[in-house]
C-alpha cells in the first residue's frame, strides 16, 4: 500500500499522506478527519485538495487496501 501511495505521490508531486487523504475524499461516503498540531501540518493536509486521482488509481488503492472485496 505505502509503495503505491509513494508512487502516486511522485506522479502528482504530493506526499503519500496527501494521496491517502485525496483517496479518502474521493470515496464520497468517507469524511476523513486529518489531525494537525501545527500550521505546517494544516498546510500539508490541505495539499490533498484541489486535484483528483484518476478512477484507475482509485481502483488500484481500493484493490491493495481491501483485498477481501475481490
- Domain count for the chain: 1
Helices 2-12, 16-26: inter-axial angle, 10-degree rounding:
90
- What is the domain extent for residue 17? 2-69
Q: Which three cell numbers stand for residue 41?
A: 501540518
Q: What percent of the chain has pLDDT over 70?
A: 96
CA distance 23 to 68: 19
Q: What percent of the chain has pLDDT over 90?
A: 77
Local confidence band at 69 (pLDDT 50, 70, 90 cut-offs):
low
Amino acid at each position: 500500500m505505502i509503495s503505491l501511495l509513494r508512487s502516486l505521490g511522485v506522479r502528482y508531486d504530493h506526499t503519500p499522506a496527501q494521496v491517502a487523504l485525496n483517496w479518502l475524499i474521493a470515496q464520497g461516503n468517507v469524511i476523513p478527519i486529518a489531525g494537525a498540531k501545527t500550521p505546517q501540518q494544516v498546510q500539508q493536509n490541505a495539499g490533498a485538495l484541489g486535484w483528483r486521482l484518476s478512477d484507475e488509481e482509485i481502483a488500484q488503492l481500493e484493490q491493495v487496501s481491501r483485498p477481501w472485496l475481490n
